[in-house]
Structure 1
């Protein structure tokens, strides 16, 4: 598979214009020596950036005439599944989403609200994924993936184009990383524009960081508070390749810093986000932050999703 290019992201941006909500930027409170913007991507359709990749994936296959009558299938009970179901409904396509039987009922309900055919299989994601692949093979449905697909990653990278349109002199973009789809797309666009990309992962869910350290994708244990969204056991080869671009940084944050950052976003900004989104914010706000912007550095932190229960946020 060739590495993801800026051309892939640019094509995706042109393809999904009018299909997704342009990202909203909010200025930081001015308490830092650097200039901070929060990219409120949790306001995207389905509550996360995943809608971008899902729209690009579906539209690209429709353009190419490779979208079968059997529709698309995906194994995911999270943001990717919701985005897949949403995109499919927008274009009158059937979406069959496989979930482990342990998936939260609220996610099952949301998927069905989007019109997905929901199949509950096994107790782990791997079992649901195997069932999805078997379904694709037997029915001819188009198999999608939560993050390991160049169309999905390129769609995610369109965020950079929209942020640059509002901050032309942006220096740095900070993103959370799970399997690396968002990072791969963002890094491709960031490299083209000379923007630094900072990849932030939980210390106990560090698939990309471990891959960089090993020089190849490797399996890692997943035990983080943000594992519901950043719980990939291995990063994609696309993400690892993107990490080799110049001006890319990989950093880690502990779970307490993620929890504190999520609470801070609520207390100071009234933004209720999921732990995955708070992970990126923790990358620059944690005690002894792993990435410290320089004075007057222009930084955008992507708040990637808000499919969360805010009941544990205190007033």
Structure 2
């Protein structure tokens, strides 16, 4: 299983390629880790660089399937390293993210109605070309790379009591759990999931990752149909708590992040904060809580509420 040593090695490996994103205290005891300011617009670039830099990349380059953010991260890393990238995204991928992929010079294939169908097509293509696969979440090097978010957060804050993190496939939550040293009396990890994509919640109930239906406002980024096996092993062992938030809460959190804090984020990026705003997670008196604001690839025109002058 991926451990803290892997996360520290990832931090050393990718340090010259990713940003050390800021942590801001927005209210007494409430902090944001602003991964929305990361290269390519999300934390995903950390795992992408760690996977690619840990391997020998063939002439056919790298290949990935993505709802959008992972593809942007792989395309960004590939361009920075001077290698070819081929990205498969579902037909429901955000136009903003598809445009970003084109701008980064990736070869794009839009196929399937959900992420898993794009992933199947990418796996078939990788078998044909020999390209290096960079999985969106269920790969040890990717999880270790995402773990640098937690490592960094604890260094920047001197420690917090609780970290709220959004879950789709689970790579970020698993990485942060390791990087922050969760469990065994340490920091608490609260996994925040859309009610309409409860991958971790369903896995914990079943005792194993199981398929779930994918729908809702955050589906383009948190639209894994099943929690990753690596994530399940890590999150279930660390006794991570899963809380669910509705689409209305996610939309409200996104608007509030923009209107109150001028933080621009996509729906998935606002999901962790939604748990605080909607009361799905209520901190104890004196508790220090950090929410990971994990992605910003969105249409800026949609940030204010309809009719708002914000």
TM-score bracket, normalised by the shorter chain, equals: over 0.9
Are 1:51 and 2:45 an aligned pair?
yes
Once the two structures are TM-superposed, the CA of residue 104 in structure 1 deviates from its matched residue by 4.2
Instruction: Please show how residues 25-40 of structure 1 align to structure 2 within 5 Å.
Output: 25-30=23-28, 35-40=29-34
**CA shift in 2, pair 1:276/1:100, >3 Å:** closer
Match of 1:281 in 2: 273
**For residues 249 and 101 of structure 1, what CA distance do their matches in structure 2 show?**
32
Once the two structures are TM-superposed, the CA of residue 257 in structure 1 deviates from its matched residue by 1.1
Are 1:20 and 2:52 an aligned pair?
no
Q: What TM-score, normalized to structure 1?
A: 0.91
Instruction: Please show how residues 157-236 of structure 1 align to structure 2 within 5 Å.
Output: 157-191=147-181, 194-236=186-228
Once the two structures are TM-superposed, the CA of residue 101 in structure 1 deviates from its matched residue by 4.5
Question: 2:62·2:83 contact (CA, 8 Å) conserved in 1?
Answer: yes
**CA shift in 2, pair 1:135/1:48, >3 Å:** same
Instruction: Please show how residues 262-273 of structure 1 align to structure 2 within 5 Å.
Output: 262-273=254-265
**1:120-143 Cα shifts (integer Å, max 9, x gaps):** 345554443233222211221111
**CA shift in 2, pair 1:143/1:36, >3 Å:** same
Match of 1:130 in 2: 120
Q: 2:7 aligns with which of 3, 6, 9?
A: 9
**For residues 123 and 279 of structure 1, what CA distance do their matches in structure 2 show?**
22
Q: SS in structure 2 opposite 1:200?
A: strand
**For residues 283 and 7 of structure 2, what CA distance do their matches in structure 1 show?**
26
**For residues 124 and 201 of structure 1, what CA distance do their matches in structure 2 show?**
18
**For residues 119 and 225 of structure 1, what CA distance do their matches in structure 2 show?**
23
Q: SS in structure 2 opposite 1:305?
A: coil
Match of 1:261 in 2: 253
Q: SS in structure 1 opposite 2:190?
A: strand
**For residues 305 and 49 of structure 1, what CA distance do their matches in structure 2 show?**
7
Match of 1:60 in 2: 54
**For residues 306 and 80 of structure 1, what CA distance do their matches in structure 2 show?**
13
Question: 1:212·1:243 contact (CA, 8 Å) conserved in 2?
Answer: no
**For residues 275 and 91 of structure 2, what CA distance do their matches in structure 1 show?**
34
**For residues 49 and 224 of structure 1, what CA distance do their matches in structure 2 show?**
21
Once the two structures are TM-superposed, the CA of residue 145 in structure 1 deviates from its matched residue by 1.2
Once the two structures are TM-superposed, the CA of residue 102 in structure 1 deviates from its matched residue by 4.9
Q: SS in structure 1 opposite 2:27?
A: coil
Q: 2:88 aligns with which of 95, 98, 104?
A: 98
Once the two structures are TM-superposed, the CA of residue 118 in structure 1 deviates from its matched residue by 1.8
**For residues 251 and 245 of structure 1, what CA distance do their matches in structure 2 show?**
17
**CA shift in 2, pair 1:102/1:238, >3 Å:** closer
Q: SS in structure 2 opposite 1:27?
A: strand
Q: SS in structure 2 opposite 1:244?
A: helix
Q: SS in structure 1 opposite 2:54?
A: helix
Question: 2:213·2:225 contact (CA, 8 Å) conserved in 1?
Answer: yes
**CA shift in 2, pair 1:166/1:264, >3 Å:** same
Question: 1:191·1:246 contact (CA, 8 Å) conserved in 2?
Answer: no
**For residues 243 and 71 of structure 1, what CA distance do their matches in structure 2 show?**
32
Q: SS in structure 2 opposite 1:108?
A: helix
**1:1-39 Cα shifts (integer Å, max 9, x gaps):** xx2211211111111112100010111133xxxx11111
State the number of aligned residues: 303
Q: SS in structure 1 opposite 2:63?
A: strand
Question: 2:114·2:223 contact (CA, 8 Å) conserved in 1?
Answer: no
Q: Any gaps of 5 or more consecutive residues in structure 1?
A: none
Once the two structures are TM-superposed, the CA of residue 304 in structure 1 deviates from its matched residue by 0.1
**CA shift in 2, pair 1:102/1:38, >3 Å:** closer
Name whichever of 235-244 and 46-55 sits farther off: 235-244
